Each structure stands twice: as C-alpha cells, then as structure tokens.
Amino acid sequence: MAKKREQIKIFFIERKWWTAAACLCLAALMFYVVNYPAAVGAAATTRQLPIYCVQRDQKLVSISFDAAWGNEDTQQLIDILGQYKVPATFFVVGEWVDKYPESVKALHDAGHEVMNHSNTHAHYPQLSADAVAADLNACNDKIEQVTGVRPTLVRLPYGDYDDNSINAVRSIGMEPIQWDVETSAT
C-alpha cells in the first residue's frame, strides 16, 4: 500500500510539472505571436530618424526659428540676438525667401545660419523621394542666390517625416534637423 501512495504522489508531482511546463510554453507562444510583427519589423530595418540633439561635453543650446509666413518680427529678432551675441539658425521656406529676400539677406549678414525649411511647406511623407529632393533643391537654390551659401540642413515641415523623406534628404547631401524642446509665443 505504501508503494501505491508513492507512485500516486509521483504521478501528481509529474502532472503538476507538465502542467506548469505547458502553461509556460503557452505563455511564451502567446508572447511570440503578439510581438512577432514588431520583432520582425525591428529586426528587418532600422527606422531613419532626423537629428534631434547632439551630445557635447560643453553645456550648449542651439536656438532655431522657422520662417514660413510673415516677417514682422525678423528685424527685432536680429537686434535682440545681436545685442546678446547669440547666433541662431533660421529655417526658411522658399516661398518666404521669394517674399522677403531682404530679410534673408539681413539674417545672413547678421551672422545667423539660413537653412532650408522646404520650398512649399508640403507634407513630405505624402511625396515621392524625387519630389522631396526637388522641393529641397528649389529652396536651396533660392537661399544660395540671396546669401551665397548653399544650405546643408533642413527642418522638415510640420516635423513630419518617414524613411522615404529622410532618405531623400540625405541623398542630396543634407541632414534633417528636428527640435527636442519646443516653445511657443503666447
């Protein structure tokens, strides 16, 4: 009789072990099925990203402005930045360059960088790579005509991008720049 109890006890221990192992395998299978698309996507390609910040040993801040509409504040910004000897980068839209070439020249002459913010402020993920490159080059041509310097940086309109638009930017030797702290005028 004692022998039977031992066998029964072993049978229950083995059954619990198999049940626990089966539950563990089922949990692992469920985790795999739920995460498989993300794991495959992450392993297949690395998402293209613009530059958000640059690690430096010194404590630095980079100030930038987007110029796409009016120019009423441009001279005031130039004066304030000049008063405090603060250089800035102005990302300008090509249509803004067309309307306000004197402002673009004033920014450049005051020692600020004048870079690209697209020619038409389009949503780049909706465009082909060739259309993105053409839009950027059109704005670059306008800025270079006014300042004598061809832009190397672009702030993508609306902060909107995908792999296609980032690859298009880099294919023409430019780097896409994003912001990592946003302020707004109130």
Same domain, 106 and 153: yes
**Domain count of the chain?**
2
Mean pLDDT of 96-123: 96
- 144 is in which domain, residue-wise? 64-177
Res 35 pLDDT > 80: no
Confidence of residue 54 (pLDDT cuts 50, 70, 90): low
On whether residue 124 sits in a domain, the answer given is yes
Show Cβ contacts of residue 155 under 8 Å, excluding neighbours closer than 6 positions.
Answer: 64, 66, 91, 115, 116, 117, 176, 177, 178, 179
Average pLDDT over residues 156-172: 91
pLDDT of residue 69: 87
Per-residue pLDDT averaged across 89-94, rounded? 96
Q: Are residues 159 and 101 in the same domain?
A: yes
Q: What is the domain-level CATH number for residue 155? A: 3.20.20.370
91 and 136 within one domain:
yes
Q: Is 52 inside a domain boundary?
A: no
Please give the angle made by the CA atoms of 125, 131 and 134, to the nearest 5 degrees. 130
- The verdict on 40 and 70 lying in the same domain is no
* pLDDT band, very low/low/confident/very high, at 181 (cuts 50, 70, 90): low
Higher-confidence position of 128 and 53: 128
pLDDT, one tens digit per residue, over 70-85 is 999 999 999 999 999 9
Confidence of residue 182 (pLDDT cuts 50, 70, 90): low
Domain contains 183? no
Residues 82 and 141 in one domain: yes
